[in-house]
Structure 1
Amino acid sequence: MNLALFFDSLPDELLAPTAVPTALAAYLTPFGEAFPDWRAADLALIGLDEWRGSAAGPPPPGHHGANRVRERFYQLQKSTGPLRLVDLGNLRPGPTLEDTYQRLREIVAALLEAGTVPLLLGGGHDLDIGQFTAYEALNQSITFAVVDAKPDMGLPLPSAPAEATHLRRLLTHEPNIIFSCAHLGHQQYLTPPDVLAAFEKLHFETMSVGELRTDRRLAEPLLRQADFLSFDVAAIRWQDAPGYHPASPFGLSNEDAAQLCWYAGHNPQLSSLGLYGYRPEHDPHGLAAATLATMLWYFVEGYNHRKPETGFGTYRFLTYTLVLPNPQPNEPTELVFYKSRRQDDVPKWWMEVEGLADQSLKRIVPCTHQDYLQAAQGILPKRWIWTQALLG
C-alpha cells in the first residue's frame, strides 16, 4: 500500500536541522523530500486537519494544530532508549467526512499489520471512528479507552455534529468487535445520568475526573487492557491546555494527562493513540501545544519501557489463590490473582475470570491491589462481576 498518496509533506520550517543534537528532531524521520519507511518504524506520527465533524468548523487559515504541536515535540529531548519514529506528514482529507474516516481506517490498519503504532494528532474527536474501524481487520474483539470531559453519546440527528455522537457510533458499530470499553475523565455536571447508566448496563467501566485526580493510579489497569486510546484535549482544564472551545476551568491537569499517556505507552497491548480536538486559534501562547507535545513524549517514553506481560503462573509472577467463604450458586468458590515481580511505579495486578456457564472461557484482566484486598474479605470485586458478564 502506497501511503504517500494520502499525505502532504511537512513544511520547510519543521524540516530544518536542529541545533540541539539530543533533541527528538535529530532522531525521527519526517516526510520531506522522501516518504519515510513506515514498515520499519516502531511509531508513526500522523497529523490530522479534518474538522467537518466539529460544530465549530475548521480553524482559521494558517492554524494547523498538528504542526503547532510538532514544533514543541521535535525540540524535546530524546530519552536513552532506542527510537524508530517516523512522521508521515499530514493526512489529506477525503472528498467527504466519511471518506476521511475510510482513508484513516485503511492507513491505521496498514500500520497495525506492520506492527507500527500510529500516533494520530489533531482534528475533531470523531476521527477516532477511523481509528476504531481499522481494528476490524484484526478479526478479534478489542478493548479501548476514551478520555473526555463527557461521553459523546448524542443521538445521530441530522443537525448533530459527528463529534457529539461518535462514541455512540463506535458502541453500536456492526460488526460488533468490542469486548469492553472504559471512559475516563468525565465531569458529572456535563454527563447525563442515563449515559452513565447505559455504561453500567453494558458492564463498561467509567472513572470521573474527581476519582481520577484523587488517585490517578487507579486508571492504570483500565489503560493496561486497552488496545487503543482516544483522548480529547477538552478533558484537560483550560488553564493547562487552552486549545478548545468552550473553555472549562475544570478537568484533568497536564500532569494527569501526561501520566495517562505514560500508562498507555507502557502497555504492550496498546497499538494506537489518538490525541484529538486541539484548536490552535485558542492557544496564542502555545501552552496547549506544549502540553500535547509532552503527552506524546510520555507515551513514547512509556513505549520504550514496554515489556511483555506473559507467563502467568510462572516465576515472573506471585500467584494468590483466595477461597471465598459461602459462595452463592452463581459465584466462584475461589479467585486467582497474579502480581508482577517487576518493580514498577504502579504494582501490576491481574485477576483470573472464568465464565460460569462455560469455564473454557477464561480471561486474565488487569486489576488493582484494592480488588485483591476486597476479595480477601470475601467480597467479589465489581471488576470480576462485570468481566464475567462480558464473557457471557
Structure 2
Amino acid sequence: MNLSIFFEPLRDFIDNYSHDVKSVGSSLSIFTQKFPEWRSADIALIGMNEYRGANQNTPTLHPANEVRKKLYRLKKGTGTYKVVDLGNLLPGITLEDTYLRLKEIVENLVSSNTLPIIIGGSHDLDYGQFLGYENLEKVINLVTVDSSIDMTEGADTPQHKKHLHRILMHEPNYLFSLSQLGHQSYLVEPEVTATLEKLHFETIRVGEIHKNVQLAEPVIRQADMLSFDVKAINGQAAPNITESNPFGLTGEEACQLCWYAGLNDHLTSFGIYEYNPEQDLHGTTAMTISVMIWYFLEGFSNRKNEIDFTGKKFVKYAIAFHDNPNKMAFYKSKVSDKWWMEVEGLGKEKLRKIVPCSYDDYIQASNGEVPNRWILTQGRMA
C-alpha cells in the first residue's frame, strides 16, 4: 500500500536538524522527497496535528515538528535500530476520517512489524490507534498513562474526555485488558474507578508510582498498545498554561515508563498525545517528550525476546497451596531477572495465560496468598 499519500513531507523543516553525524536526526530515514522504506524499519515516527477531539483550533506550530527540533539534536545512544520518520499525517475531512486514516496506518505498520510512535494531537486519537488492531485477529492489552480517566459520558462531552469509554464499548470486542497508570484521585469520579475494578482492570495512582515506579513495570510489560497523555506529567517537566499539573509524574518517571515500554517485547504501538506547542513557551514540554522517545528507543534496542517460556531462558517455579491441590506456576528469566505467572481460567476449557508479574507476587504466593494480579487476570478470563 502507498502510505505516502496520507503524509506531508518535511522538506522545509529537516535540513537544520539532522546535520550532526552523532545525533538521532542523522540516523533516521526521513520523508523529505522520497517516502522511507517503512516495511524494513523497526520504528516509524508519525506526526499529528489534530485537535478537533478537544474542541481546539489547530495549532499554528506543528506539535511533532517542535518535538523533532529537540529529538533530532539529541545524541544517538548505543542501541541498534532502524527508525524512519514518515512525516506528518494529513487530517481527514472529519475527525472520524482522521481516526480511520490512523487506523489504516497503524494496521499496515503493525502487520509489517514496524512499531509506530504517534506524536501530537488530542488524546482521543488513541481510538484510531486502537482501531488499527481490529483486523489483526488477536486480543490486545491497552495501557494508558493519564492524570484522569477519560470515560466521561454525554453528548456534549469532547471526544478526548470519553475516548476510553468508546474503546470499551467498541464492537467487535478485541480488548483483553485496560490498565490505567498515573491518575490522580481528585480528578477522577469514584464511579469510574469502581467500573474499572468491576471489569478486573488494573490501576496505579500517581502517588503509588512516586513511591515505587517499578510497580508500573509489569503492567507496561503486558501492553500491546501504550497511550500516554502528557498532562500526566507535572508542570515542571511539562508546563501547560491552561492545565498546569503540579502533582503529576516527574520527567524522570515519565522517561522510566517509556524505557519499560521500549523493553516490552509485545508492545507494537506507542502514542504521545495532548501536546500543544502554543502553550509551551520555552520548549520544555517538547524537550521532555523528545527525551521520553529517546529512552523508548534505547529500551527497544535492549529487548530480550522473552516470549517463549518453554526455552532455556527461564526457570519455572511451582507453588502448591495447602487448601488447594492446584499449583501456581511462576517463570523467572535468566537473562533479565523478570517474572511471569501462569493463570488458569475458570471456564470448562481451563485456558491458561502467562502474564507479567513482579517478584513480590511470587513471594506473596509463596506465603500462601493469591496475588491480586492473578485474581484480576483470572476474572478477565472468566
Matching residue of 2:339: 349
Matching residue of 1:198: 195
Matching residue of 1:98: 96
Picking from 365, 371, 374, the partner of 1:375 is 365
Q: Distance in 1 between matches of 2:333 and 2:141?
A: 22
- For residues 162-241 of structure 1, what are the structure 2 equivalents within 5 Å? 162-241=159-238
- CA offset digits 1:346-366 (Å, max 9, x no partner): x41100111233354000110
Structure 1 segments unaligned to the other structure (5+ residues): none
Matching residue of 2:134: 136
Matching residue of 2:305: 308
CA RMSD of aligned residues (A): 1.4
Q: Distance in 1 between matches of 2:156 and 2:346?
A: 45
Q: Distance in 1 between matches of 2:194 and 2:373?
A: 16
Q: Distance in 2 between matches of 1:309 and 1:95?
A: 42
Number of positions where the alignment pairs a residue of Structure 1 with one of Structure 2: 382
The offset of 1:205, in angstroms, is 0.1
What TM-score, normalized to structure 2?
0.97
Picking from 253, 276, 290, the partner of 1:293 is 290
- For residues 90-129 of structure 1, what are the structure 2 equivalents within 5 Å? 90-129=88-127
What TM-score, normalized to structure 1?
0.95
Picking from 225, 228, 251, the partner of 1:254 is 251
Q: Distance in 1 between matches of 2:8 and 2:163?
A: 26
Letter of the aligned partner of 2:12 in structure 1? D
Matching residue of 2:15: 15
Letter of the aligned partner of 1:391 in structure 2? M
Q: Distance in 1 between matches of 2:120 and 2:15?
A: 19
Matching residue of 1:153: 151
Q: Distance in 2 between matches of 1:385 and 1:41?
A: 38
Does structure 1 residue 74 correspond to structure 2 residue 67?
no
| Shift >6 Å, 4+ stretches | none
- For residues 264-279 of structure 1, what are the structure 2 equivalents within 5 Å? 264-279=261-276
- CA offset digits 1:210-237 (Å, max 9, x no partner): 0111111110111111001000000000
- CA offset digits 1:56-102 (Å, max 9, x no partner): 4332x2x1111000000011111223221110100110000000000
The offset of 1:18, in angstroms, is 3.5
The offset of 1:322, in angstroms, is 0.9
Q: Distance in 2 between matches of 1:244 and 1:293?
A: 20
Picking from 336, 344, 347, the partner of 2:329 is 336
Q: Distance in 2 between matches of 1:323 and 1:185?
A: 35
The offset of 1:391, in angstroms, is 1.3
Which SS does the other structure have where 1:53 is aligned? helix
**2:150–2:163: 8 Å Cα contact kept in structure 1?**
yes
Q: Distance in 2 between matches of 1:243 and 1:110?
A: 34
